[in-house]
Amino acid sequence: MEEKLQKLKDYLGEAADLYQVAALLGWDQQTQMPHGAAATRGQQMATLSALAHQKATRPEIGDLFEELLPWAQNLDHDSEEYRLITVSASDYDKATRVPSEFVAEESQITAMAHEAWAEARAKSDFSIFQPHLEQILELKKKYISFFPAADHPYDTLLDDFEPGMKTADVKTIFEALRPQQVELIQAIASQPQVDDSFMHLEYDEDKQWDFGVKVATAFGYDWNRGRQDKSTHPFTINFGMDDVRITTRFEKNLLGSALFSTMHETGHALYEQGVGHIWARTPLASGASLAIHESQSRMWENLVGRSLPFWEHFYPSLQASFPSQLGQVSLEKFYKGINKVERSLVRVEADEATYNLHVMLRLELEIAMIEGTVAVKDLPELWNTKMKDYLGLTPPNDAKGVLQDIHWSGGMIGYFSTYALGNLISVQLWEKFKTINPEIDDQMRNGDFSNLLSWLRVKIHQHGRKYQPQKLVERITGSKIDPAPYVQYLKTKYSAIYEL
Amino acid sequence: MEEKLQKLKDYLGEAADLYQVAALLGWDQQTQMPHGAAATRGQQMATLSALAHQKATRPEIGDLFEELLPWAQNLDHDSEEYRLITVSASDYDKATRVPSEFVAEESQITAMAHEAWAEARAKSDFSIFQPHLEQILELKKKYISFFPAADHPYDTLLDDFEPGMKTADVKTIFEALRPQQVELIQAIASQPQVDDSFMHLEYDEDKQWDFGVKVATAFGYDWNRGRQDKSTHPFTINFGMDDVRITTRFEKNLLGSALFSTMHETGHALYEQGVGHIWARTPLASGASLAIHESQSRMWENLVGRSLPFWEHFYPSLQASFPSQLGQVSLEKFYKGINKVERSLVRVEADEATYNLHVMLRLELEIAMIEGTVAVKDLPELWNTKMKDYLGLTPPNDAKGVLQDIHWSGGMIGYFSTYALGNLISVQLWEKFKTINPEIDDQMRNGDFSNLLSWLRVKIHQHGRKYQPQKLVERITGSKIDPAPYVQYLKTKYSAIYEL
C-alpha cells in the first residue's frame, strides 16, 4: 500500500506543479506581462489549465482512492497519511462530479457576464447585467445538482470556499452579529468625527514602498522566498511554500492604501510561507479555507497594524519618512485617524466597524437568490433597502450599489461571508493568543512579532489544509466561530477612540 | 486532408504553448524569482518539460505525418502548408529518434558536469572537468548514432543549431577567413593603440538604462510586446511573437557593457517580434537558425551601433546624459574608443576584429574531439597552442583558457561556429541592403532605422523558420555564406581607425 500511496503522491505532485505554473502565468500577467501579449497568454493559460485539470482528475487517481480510502480508516485520523488521502479524495470527488462541458459552459458564460457587468457598472444600468446574472444563477443551480442534497442548497456553494461550513451556521452567526454592529455604528455616528485629513496629503511612492517593506520584514515575511510587486489590485499568490509573492498599489493621496494592504497581503503570505514542507506538491499545501486565510490577513492588518502599541514603535519611523506631512501630527491623532469609522456605500473602502455589514447584505441576497425567494430583477431595490437598514445610506445609483463587486459576474456566489468570518476568527485567535502570551502589547511596542508569528506557525500555518477550518478554530480556541469576542473588541476599541 | 492538417496544428499548438510556458518559467527564474524557490522551480520545470516533450512527440503526430507528408509533395514548396508540414515533420523525426532514457541520462550527466566545470574553472584545474567532458563526448557520439550517417559525424551536431549546414562548408569558410583575420590583427597591433579610458569611468546605472531604452525604441523594439529586465547574463527570450523580452546587465565602470548588449539583444528581439502571426503556435515561430539570429543581433550591435553615422545622431544625447564623463570627449575619439581592437584571452570580451578567431579555435577542437584525433586530456595544451598562433597570446591558466566557456559542460557541442557565421551573414545582408537603400548612412544620421527594419522584416523576420538558413541567405543576397564581404568590411573600418 506504501507503493500505492507513493503513486498517489506522484500524480498529485504532477497536478500541483501544473497548477503552480498556471498561478505563475497569472502573476506574470498581472505584474509583468506586456499588454500586447494578452491573447497569447490566454491561449497558454487555456492549454495549461486544461492539462492541469486533466492530470488532477485522471481515472488512475480514482482507482487508487478505492484502495487507499478503506486502508486509511485504520490509520490515526490525525496522521499526515490519513489527512492527505481523505482531503485529496474529497477534492477529487468534487472535481470529477462536475462534467468538463459544464466547466467550459461556465467559463464562456462568465466571460460574457464579466463584459456585461463592466458595461453595466460603467453605465450604472443593472438591466445590462441582469440576463447574465440570471444565467449564472441557473448555472449555480445546475452545479448544486451535481452534488448530494445538502441541508440547504447554498451549502454546496459555500463549501467550495469554506469547507464544512453550513448556511444555517453562518446565518446564526450573522444574525447575532448584525444588530450589535448596527447599534455600535449608530453610537459612533452620534459622536464628533475624528480627523484624518493628514492621510490625504501627498506621499512619495518610493518612501511608501520602503516603509511597507520595513513592516513586512518586521512581521517576518521571508524575502528569500518571496517578493513584492505593483499591480492594479493587491494580491498574494504562491507557487509552493517557497515562492510566495505579494503585490501592492499606491495612491499618492491616500497613505493608508498601500500601508494597510501591504500588511494585509503580508498576513496572507506569512500563512503560505508557513505551510509545512511535508505538504509540498500536495493539495494540502495551502491555507485551510478563505475564512482562516482572512483571519490571518485581518489580524496583521487590523489587530496588529491598526493598534496603538504597533504605532508606538513604528510611528516615529513613519514620521521620519514623511516629516512635512506627519511631523506635527501626534501619535494619538494618527491612531484615531487610521481608525476613523465612516458609513460608506462601497465595501472595499469600508473600515473595521462597518465592513461586516457590507458582507451580510451580500450573503442575504445570495441565499435568497439560491432559495428562489428573490428574483434577479429585484436585487437593486433589495440592495438599497438593506443598505438603508444597516448603514443608513441610499446608493445614488446601481454602480455604487448592487453593481459594485466583480464576484457575481465571475460566477463566485458563496464567497462573501468568508470575509466577515475571517474578522471574527481573527479576534478569537487573538484573544486565545493573549492568554498564552499576555505581553504581546509590550512586544509590539518593541517591534517584536516573533512570538505571535511562532504561535500562528505552530497552531495554524504548518498544518496547511490538514484540518477542516471550523474544527481548526475549535482545536485552538476551544470554541466554535463566535461573534462575541469580535463585538467586544470593536466596542472596546471604538469606545476609546470615539469616547462612547 | 484539411481536417488532418488542422489536427496537426492543434497538436503542435498544444506543445508550443507548453514550451512557451517553460520558457516563461526560465525567464522568471533568471529575472524575478526569489532564491529560496530554486528547488521548487526545478520540480515545476521538470514536470512541464516532460509534458511538453511528451506532447511534441505523441504518436498521433507521427501518424498524421504519414498521410500529410506524401500529400504535401503536391503543394507549392514555397507554400505555408508545405513548409509547416515538412519543417515540423523534420523536428518530429529528430525528437523521436532520441530515446527518452538518453535524454534523462544526458540531463543527469550534464548537471554533474556543470558542477565539475564550475569547480574546475574556480580552481583552474582541468583535471576536475576532464572525466566529465569525456563522458559528454561519449554521449555526443551516442547521440550521433541515433541518426543516419552523415558526411561527417560532426554534421549531426551542427545541424541541431544550424540546420542544413555541413562541417566541410564551415571548415572551408573558416579556412578562407582565418589567415586574413590574423593578418589584419597583426597589422592593427603594430599601430598606436586608441584611447578608450573614458569608457571606464563611473556611469550611473539609471541613466545607462534610459539611454539603452531610447536606442532600443529607435531601432523599433515594440514595448507593447516586450519588456526589459536585469539579469546576470543578458538574453532574449520569447513566448510567442507577441511577448519578446530582453535583459541586460550593468557595469558601473564599463559603459560599453549594457550599451552594446542592449543593442545586441534588441537585434534578437526585433527578429522574434517580426515573425509572422501565421506561424503562431507552430514550431516555425522562431528564427531560422542561430547564425541567422546572430546576424540580426550583430548587425544592430556592430554595423549600426558601432558605426560613425549612428553616433553622429546619438552621441550628443549620450554626452548630455554623462556630461562630466563625455563632455570633453570628441565624437571621433568616442567612435575610435568603442571600436578599440585588443587581442585578449576571453571570447566574451573580444572585439569585432578578434571575435571570430576565438570561435574558430573552438570549432577546430570540437571537430577533432568528435573525429577522435584529439583526446580530451590534450585539449588544454592544444588550446594554448592555437591561441598563440591566432592571437599571439598564451593563457596564464586554464580558467582563462580551455575552461572559460560554459557550453561544453552543458553538452552543447556544435554551437560555437554559429557566432562567427552570424558575423559573416550580417555583412552580406548589410551590403545587399545598401544596394537597395544606399541612403542608410544618412538615415542613421537622422536616427531613422525604419527602412532597415522594414527590409529585414520582409526578407527575414516574417518567415520564421520557413526557409533553410543557408538557402535564406542565398535567396536574399544571391550568394552562399561568404567571408569576403566581412573581411572587406573589417579592413575598411579598421584602416580608417588605425590608419593602416
Residue A480: per-residue pLDDT: 95
Distance CA B182, CA B389 (A): 9
Distances in Å between the Cα of B273 and the Cα atoms of A31, A219, B231, B277 are 21, 44, 21, 10
User: Both B44 and B167 in a single domain?
Assistant: no
SS3 readout for chain A: CHHHHHHHHHHHHHHHHHHHHHHHHHHHHHHCCCHHHHHHHHHHHHHHHHHHHHHHCCHHHHHHHHHHHHHHCCCCCCCHHHHHHHHHHHHHHHHHHCCHHHHHHHHHHHHHHHHHHHHHHHHCCHHHHHHHHHHHHHHHHHHHHCCCCCCCHHHHHHHHHCCCCCHHHHHHHHHHHHHHHHHHHHHHHCCCCCCCHHHHCCCCHHHHHHHHHHHHHHHCCCHHHCCEEECCCCCEEECCCCCEEEEECCCCCCHHHHHHHHHHHHHHHHHHHHCCHHHCCCCCCCCCCHHHHHHHHHHHHHHHCCCHHHHHHHHHHHHHHCHHHHCCCCHHHHHHHHCCCCCCCCHHHCCCCCHHHHHHHHHHHHHHHHHCCCCHHHHHHHHHHHHHHHHCCCCCCHHHCCCCCCHHHHCCCCCCHHHHHHHHHHHHHHHHHHHHCCCHHHHHHCCCCHHHHHHHHHHCHHHCCCCCHHHHHHHHHCCCCCCHHHHHHHHHHHHHHHCC
B346: which DSSP letter? -
Residue A82 is assigned to a structural domain of this protein: yes
Distance CA A26, CA A40 (A): 13
User: Both B309 and B443 in a single domain?
Assistant: yes
pLDDT per residue over B296-341, tens digit each? 999 999 999 999 999 999 999 999 999 999 999 999 999 999 999 9
Evaluated on CA atoms B429, B435, B436, B437, the torsion sign reads: positive
B252: which DSSP letter? T
Residue B106 is assigned to a structural domain of this protein: no
Residue A254: per-residue pLDDT: 92
ipTM of the complex, rounded to two decimals: 0.92
- State how far residue B276 is from chain A, nearest Cα, in angstroms: 14
Residues of A in contact with B51 (CB under 8 A): 18, 51
User: Both A24 and A136 in a single domain?
Assistant: no
User: Both B391 and B433 in a single domain?
Assistant: yes
Cβ within 8 Å, pair B47-A225 = no
Residues of B in contact with A47 (CB under 8 A): 13-14, 17-18, 21
- B14 at the A interface (CB within 8 A)? yes
Residue A107 is assigned to a structural domain of this protein: no
User: Both B342 and B408 in a single domain?
Assistant: yes
User: Both B286 and B372 in a single domain?
Assistant: yes
Residue A123 is assigned to a structural domain of this protein: no
C-alpha cell at B170: 564551415
Residue B116 is assigned to a structural domain of this protein: no
Distance CA B313, CA B328 (A): 17
The SS3 of residue B228 is strand
- A242 at the B interface (CB within 8 A)? yes
B264: which DSSP letter? H
Chain B residue nearest residue A27, CA to CA: B28
pLDDT at residue B202 is higher than 90: yes
Domain boundary among B54, B78, B97: B97
Among the listed residues A230, A482, A494, A174, the one whose alpha carbon sits nearest the alpha carbon of residue A358? A174
User: Both A148 and A89 in a single domain?
Assistant: no
Nearest CB neighbour to B20, from listed A20, A44, A239: A44
C-alpha cell at B160: 541541431
- State how far residue B111 is from chain A, nearest Cα, in angstroms: 21
Residue A105 is assigned to a structural domain of this protein: no
Distance CA B151, CA B142 (A): 17
pLDDT per residue over B363-402, tens digit each? 999 999 999 999 999 999 999 999 999 999 999 999 999 9
Cβ within 8 Å, pair A239-B44 = yes
Q: How many domains does chain A have?
A: 2
Distance CA B357, CA B337 (A): 21
Evaluated on CA atoms A460, A166, A117, A124, the torsion sign reads: negative
Residue B104 is assigned to a structural domain of this protein: no
B328: which DSSP letter? T
User: Both A371 and A456 in a single domain?
Assistant: yes
pLDDT at residue B418 is higher than 90: yes
C-alpha cell at A342: 465612516
On whether the CB atoms of residues A193 and A494 are closer than 8 A, the answer is no
Residue A348: per-residue pLDDT: 86
Residue B110 is assigned to a structural domain of this protein: no
B300: which DSSP letter? I
User: Both B73 and B153 in a single domain?
Assistant: no
Residues of A in contact with B285 (CB under 8 A): none
User: Both A15 and A161 in a single domain?
Assistant: no
Distance CA A374, CA A382 (A): 9
Domain boundary among A79, A97, A115: A97
Chain B residue nearest residue A31, CA to CA: B32
For residue B247, give the H/E element and its range: strand B244-248
On whether the CB atoms of residues B256 and A54 are closer than 8 A, the answer is no
Nearest CB neighbour to A225, from listed B17, B21, B37: B37
Q: What is the mean pLDDT of residues B183-188?
A: 95
Nearest CB neighbour to A227, from listed B32, B43, B48: B32
CB pairs A-B closer than 8 Å: 107
Residue written as grid cell 568528435: B370
User: Both B373 and B289 in a single domain?
Assistant: yes
C-alpha cell at B201: 569611468
Active site residues of A: 265
Q: What is the mean pLDDT of residues B187-210?
A: 96
Among the listed residues B427, B408, B424, the one whose alpha carbon sits nearest the alpha carbon of residue B416? B408
CATH code: domain of residue B254: 1.10.1370.30
Hey, which residues does A229 pair with through a beta bridge?
A247
Residue B415: per-residue pLDDT: 95
Indicate left, alpha or beta for B296 from its phi (over 0: left) and psi (-120 to 50: alpha).
alpha
Residue B104: per-residue pLDDT: 84
Residue B458: per-residue pLDDT: 98
pLDDT per residue over B472-490, tens digit each? 999 999 999 999 999 999 9
User: Both A92 and A133 in a single domain?
Assistant: no
Spell out, as residue ranges, where chain A has pLDDT lower than 70. none
CA angle A189, A190, A193 (to 5 degrees): 60
Q: Which domain holds residue B200?
A: 126-500
Distances in Å between the Cα of B331 and the Cα atoms of A147, B309, B312 are 77, 11, 7
Residue numbers of A between 263 and 322 with CB closer than 8 Å to B: 280-281
Residues of B in contact with A32 (CB under 8 A): 32, 227
Among the listed residues B391, B412, B413, B395, the one whose alpha carbon sits nearest the alpha carbon of residue B404? B395
